[in-house]
Amino acid sequence: MLSEDELTFVTSNKHKAVEVREIFRSHGARCQVHYMKTIEIQSNDIAEIAIFSSFQAYQLLGKPVFVEDAGLFVDALNGFPGPYSSYVYRTLGLETFLKLLNKRRNAFFKSVVCVYGLSRAPVIFSGVVKGRIATEPRGEGGFGYDPVFIPAGSTKTLAEMSVAEKNKWSHRAKAVEKLLRWLYKDRKTFHMR
């Protein structure tokens, strides 16, 4: 059985750490977090970014790690900002971002989790949540685009939800739950290869 000391979540985002720990906790598992900023390569592929970051974290820490990277893909903007979501958020902010949109407000969040150091190759898990972009920010929770993203089937933005409630909808939760299933159910034994 894999212990919490054998796989570490590497992130520089305290909000992601809270969400990931809560997902692990809700499944009866614990999650170690190491706060560290990795170099984020420029790529049109979120998985490629996650693989590079996980390899870098593995090299620096010398133990099995996983990282998570995500993007917001807006239909009216042909999938933009996608892998550049963090940069666009930091550069434009939510108000300016909302001005870019027309009446077509469908979008989806995609999360990619990459594990490095437990097998011969990186292992990838992804999660997607479809929804729409609100006309104005709502809610005090979450981070990034959470105040403007409303998951399909909900009337609340992610920022209007508690962490536990957000994890019932979120792209990140879907990817991390796939990781947990792989760690604790799909794999029969833990061993380095």
Q: Is 127 annotated as a binding residue?
A: no
- Residue 78 counted as an annotated binding residue: no
Tell me whether residue 138 is annotated as binding.
no
Q: Is 171 annotated as a binding residue?
A: yes
85 and 133 Cβ atoms separated by less than 8 Å:
no
91 known member of a binding site: no
CA distance 33 to 11: 7
Which position among 5, 45, 69, 186 bears the catalytic label?
69
Kindly state the tokens that stand for 124: 């990838």
* H or E element in which residue 173 lies: helix 171-181
- Within 8 A by CB and 6+ apart from 31, the residues are 4, 9, 20, 21, 23, 24, 25
Query: Is 172 annotated among the ligand-binding residues?
Result: yes
Contact by Cβ (8 Å): 119, 66 = no
Let me know if 69 is a catalytic residue: yes
69 annotated among ligand-binding-site residues = yes
Catalytic machinery residues: 69
Q: Which residues are annotated as a binding site?
A: 11-16, 40, 69-70, 143-146, 166, 171-172
Q: Which residues are annotated as a binding site for Mg(2+)?
A: 40, 69
Q: Which residues are annotated as a binding site for substrate?
A: 11-16, 70, 143-146, 166, 171-172
